Amino acid sequence: MLRTPTGRSGAATTRRRRTAALAALLAGALALTGCAKDAGGRDGGSASGQGCRLAPPPAAAPATTTSSERTRQPLPDASQLRVGLAFDIGGRGDASFNDASVAGLDRAKAEMGLAEVKELDAGAGESEDAKLTRLQQLAREGYDPVIAVGYAYAGAVRTVAPQFPDTRFAIVDENVQGIPNVTPLVFAEEQGSFLVGVIAAHRSQNCHVGFVGGVETPLIGKFEAGFVQGARAAAPDIEIERDYLTPAGDYSGFQDPNKGAEIAQGQLDAGADVLYHAAGASGKGVFSAVHSAEAQAIGVDSDQYHQPTVAQFKDVIISSMLKRVDLAVFDYVAAVARNDLSTFPTKFDLSIDGVGYSTSGGMIDDLVPTADAYKAAIARGEIQVSDTP
């Protein structure tokens, strides 16, 4: 799939669709993999429309021990820790990775007695100085560790952490290296997105799905890349819409539900019937459009079926790609409380349940064996998932 011409300098939306060239390359496979009646409908019953002819999943393998079982230790006492949390735009209530960060700290309070958390919000379109000031404020007030939520803090963390060498910093979604008191919390988003791509292909009755990204950055490209690979692994002939709300540098794409609804509606009008978003709070607009169209949606980061801020759309959220920011934050606080970061994971991937998919609502229960077969193949290294579109 190639990018179609767009007005990058003037338009906020980038559309990626299959090109005629790719269609020609796939034409020879259509006899075997063309769209046909699918045996399973949305709830596992008979399909009433056209679905994709599906490729067989990888061979099942014996269940493996998860990282949580391999490395479980007695929880430390975190009652002496005061954590500073610097939100990305959207903050609490984004139904995405900000909320996932909070969930990790809430669990640390409940299970380890974490003493205190101070949260500071980010503003849309704020300057780099605002991020610097926010981190400096938390460090000066004695919060340790300080957790920066989002790759937008990378520059600020690189500047502020050396100024406070006795304060421990963590940053979500950016692999900041070379600073002793900084721990990256990074994820294999492409692997989890691969799994929901498989799910989307199995659930699509039009053999046509869509991806909506918030801001066109390498990070969000990982979600797109995995989703496309997973959908095509399950259904090589599937048609995939791909759009971004804003170009790199314009972070409003993560908090514009109206634009999310507009882009989603365009994909639905084009024929897509299962949409996956990685657009932060803009995902609410994607869910709204899908709900109105009586189509299906896949959430991101948290189990969005259970998110109160999108509860009115839960009946169309068939799954979510779980990016376990909550687990990473919880494990990081535990490591800090033990004063031992030596065994902390360098990346949260499928092999340690750092990413995955949700089954809440029971709408994909019949697909669990299939999705888990792909999951095991990825974890074993039999399937390599690229992190670039």
Q: Give the chain as a 3 state SS string.
A: CEECCCCCCCCCCEEEECCHHHHHHHHCCHHHHCCEECCCCCCCCCCCCEECCCCCCCCCCCCCCCHHHHCCCCCCCCCCCEEEEECCCCCCCCCCHHHHHHHHHHHHHHHHCCCEEEEECCCCCCCHHHHHHHHHHHHHCCCECEEEECHHHHHHHHHHHHHCCCCCEEEECCCCCCCCCEEEECECHHHHHHHHHHHHHHHCCCCEEEEEEEECCHHHHHHHHHHHHHHHHHCCCCEEEEEEEECCCCHHHHCCHHHHHHHHHHHHHCCCCEEEEECHHHHHHHHHHHHHHCCEEEEEECCHHHCHHHHHHHHHEEEEEEECHHHHHHHHHHHHHHCCCCCCCCCECHHHCCEEECCCCCCCHHHHHHHHHHHHHHHCCCCCCCCCC
pLDDT of residue 61: 62
Q: Which amino acid is at 196?
A: V
Q: Are strands 146-149 and 82-86 parallel, antiparallel or unpaired?
A: parallel
* Residue corresponding to tokens 């990016």: 323
Using alpha carbons only, give the angle 53, 202, 97 rounded to the nearest 5 degrees.
Answer: 150
pLDDT of residue 29: 34
pLDDT of residue 71: 53
pLDDT of residue 99: 85
Whole-number Cα distances in Å, 168 to 25, 42, 109, 146: 52, 47, 19, 6
Report how far residue 289's alpha carbon sits from residue 294's, in angstroms, rounded to the nearest whole number: 9
pLDDT of residue 62: 59
Report how far residue 382's alpha carbon sits from residue 57's, in angstroms, rounded to the nearest whole number: 12
What are the structural domain ranges in the chain? 6-18+189-323+351-379, 72-187+326-342
CATH number of 6-18+189-323+351-379: 3.40.50.2300
pLDDT of residue 88: 87
Q: What is the pLDDT along the chain (389 residues), one digit of tens a residue?
A: 333 333 333 334 444 443 333 333 333 333 333 333 232 333 332 233 478 999 999 987 655 544 444 456 799 999 999 999 999 877 787 767 788 899 999 999 999 999 999 999 988 778 899 999 999 999 999 999 999 999 999 999 999 999 999 999 999 999 999 999 999 999 999 999 999 999 999 999 999 999 999 999 999 999 999 999 999 999 999 999 999 999 998 989 998 999 999 999 999 999 999 999 999 889 999 999 999 999 999 999 889 999 888 999 999 999 999 999 999 999 999 999 999 999 999 999 999 999 999 999 999 999 999 999 999 999 999 999 999 99
Whole-model pTM over 0.75 = yes
Tokens for 87, please give them.
């939100």
Report how far residue 86's alpha carbon sits from residue 121's, in angstroms, rounded to the nearest whole number: 6
Tokens for 179, please give them.
């600073």
The torsion of the CA quartet 330, 335, 336, 342, rounded to 10 degrees, works out to -140
Bridge partner residues of 182 (DSSP): 169
Which residue pairs from 340-347 have beta carbons closer than 8 angstroms and sit at least 24 positions apart in sequence? 341/183, 343/71, 344/183, 345/67, 346/184, 346/186, 347/186, 347/187, 347/188
Superfamily for 72-187+326-342?
Response regulator (3.40.50.2300)
Whole-number Cα distances in Å, 141 to 12, 317, 351, 367: 39, 41, 38, 49
Half-sphere exposure of 328 (CA within 13 A, CB side): 30
pLDDT of residue 359: 98
Peptide bond into 5 cis (omega under 30): no
